[in-house]
Amino acid sequence: MSFELVILGNSSATPTLNRFPSAQYLHVLDHHLLIDCGEGTQMQMQRYKIKKTKIKHVFISHIHADHMLGLPGLLFSMNLMQRTEPLHIYGPDTLFEIIDLFHKNTESELRFEIIKHITNTNTKEVIYEDALLKVSSFPLFHRVPTTGFLFEEQPKLKKLNVVSCKKNSIPFANYTDIKRGKDYVSDDGKIIIPNSELTVDKGEPFSYAYCSDTMYDERVIEAVKNVNLLYHEATFLHDRLKRAEETKHSTALQAGIVAQKANVSKLIIGHFSSRYDLLDELLAETRTQFANSFIANEGEHFFME
Amino acid sequence: MSFELVILGNSSATPTLNRFPSAQYLHVLDHHLLIDCGEGTQMQMQRYKIKKTKIKHVFISHIHADHMLGLPGLLFSMNLMQRTEPLHIYGPDTLFEIIDLFHKNTESELRFEIIKHITNTNTKEVIYEDALLKVSSFPLFHRVPTTGFLFEEQPKLKKLNVVSCKKNSIPFANYTDIKRGKDYVSDDGKIIIPNSELTVDKGEPFSYAYCSDTMYDERVIEAVKNVNLLYHEATFLHDRLKRAEETKHSTALQAGIVAQKANVSKLIIGHFSSRYDLLDELLAETRTQFANSFIANEGEHFFME
Q: Is B18 on the interface with A (CB under 8 A)?
A: no
**Could B94 and A105 be called an inter-chain contact, meaning their C-beta atoms sit closer than 8 Å?**
yes
B110 and B252 inside one domain: yes
Single-letter code of the amino acid located at B259 = A
Name the residue facing A13 among B69, B80, B95 (closest C-beta): B80
Based on the fold, state whether residues A188 and A210 are members of the same structural domain.
Answer: no
Q: Which residues contact A257 (CB under 8 A, 6 or more apart)?
A: A216, A289, A290
- Per the CB < 8 Å rule, is B143 touching A97? no
pLDDT attached to residue A179: 78
- What pLDDT is recorded for position A35? 98
Between CA B64 and CA A73 the distance in angstroms is 9
Residue A240: how many CB atoms within 10 A of its CB? 17
Residue A305's pLDDT band (boundaries 50, 70, 90)?
low
Distance, CA of B63 to CA of B82 (rounded, Å): 27
Mean model confidence pLDDT for chain A: 92
User: Residue A1 pLDDT more than 50?
Assistant: no
d(CA B224, CA B150): 8
Q: What percent of chain A has pLDDT over 70?
A: 99
Provide the 8-state DSSP code for B61: -
Last residue of a domain, one of B200, B215, B231: B200
* A69 lies in the same domain as A101: yes
* A191 DSSP β-pair partners: A185
Same domain, B181 and B146: no
Please check whether residues B53 and B184 belong to one and the same domain: no
Buried/exposed code over B253-276 (b: 16+ C-beta within 10 A; e: otherwise): bbbbbbbbbbebebbbbbbbbbeb
Q: Which of B47, B105, B121, B235 to mutate: most A Cβ within 10 Å? A: B105
B31-82 confidence digits (pLDDT tens) = 999 999 999 999 999 999 999 999 999 999 999 989 999 999 999 999 989 9
The reply to whether residue A15 touches residue B98, judged by beta carbons under 8 angstroms, is no
Opening angle at CA A252, ends A246 and A254, nearest 5: 70
Chain A contact present for B72, CB below 8 A: yes
Given this model, what pLDDT does residue B283 score? 97
Say whether pLDDT at B2 is over 80. no
Instruction: State whether B29 and B176 are in the same domain.
Output: no
Instruction: For residue B193, give how far its alpha carbon lies from the nearest alpha carbon of chain A (Å).
Output: 58
Phi, psi of B124 (to 5 degrees): -70, 135
Q: What is the pLDDT of residue B305?
A: 58
Domain membership of residue B175 as a residue range: 159-200
* Angle formed by the axes of helices B71-80 and B93-105, nearest 10°: 50
Mean pLDDT, all residues of chain B: 92
Question: Does residue A34 have a pLDDT over 80?
Answer: yes
Give per-residue pLDDT as tens, A207-244: 999 999 999 999 999 999 999 999 999 999 999 999 99
Contacts of B159 (CB under 8 A, 6+ apart): B179, B199, B200, B201, B202
CATH number for position A285: 3.60.15.10
Query: Where do the DSSP E strands lie in B78-185?
Result: 87-91, 114-118, 125-129, 133-139, 147-153, 159-160, 184-185
Give the per-residue pLDDT at B14: 75
Residue B85 CB coordination number (10 Å): 12
Tell me the whole-structure pTM to 2 decimals. 0.84
Using one digit for the tens of pLDDT, what is the confidence trace for A270-282? 999 989 988 999 9
Residue A188: which pLDDT band, with cuts at 50, 70 and 90? confident
Contact B17 A47 (CB under 8 A): yes
B129-172 pLDDT, tens digit each? 998 899 999 999 999 999 999 999 888 777 888 889 889 888 88
Three-class SS state of A221:
helix
- Residue B1 is predicted with a pLDDT of 46
A110 touches chain B (CB under 8 A): no
CB A211 within 8 A of CB A132: no
Which of A17, A94, A105 to mutate: most B Cβ within 10 Å?
A105
B84/B179 same-domain check: no
Catalytic residues of B: 66
Q: How many residues does chain A have?
A: 305
Examine the domain organization and report whether B107 and B246 are in the same domain: yes
Compare CB distances from B65 to A17, A63, A106 and report the shortest one's residue: A106
Q: Rounded to an integer, what distance in angstroms lies between the CA atom of residue A226 and that of residue A263?
A: 5
**Are residues A175 and A274 located together in one domain of the fold?**
no
Same domain, A179 and A35: no
Considering the domain architecture, whether residues B51 and B132 belong to the same structural domain is answered as yes
Residues B13 and B131 in one domain: yes
Tell me which of A24-38, A91-105, A147-161, B108-122 is least confident: A147-161
Residue range B249-299, pLDDT digits in tens = 999 999 999 999 999 999 999 999 989 988 999 999 999 999 999 999 999
pLDDT at B35 (0 to 100): 98
Cα A137 to chain center, whole Å? Answer: 10
Q: Averaged over A176-197, what is the pLDDT?
A: 84
Please say which residue of B146, B176, B200 terminates a domain: B200
Judged by DSSP in three states, B55 sits in coil
Q: How many domains does chain B have?
A: 2
> Hey, which residues 224-283 in chain B have their CB within 8 Å of chain A?
none
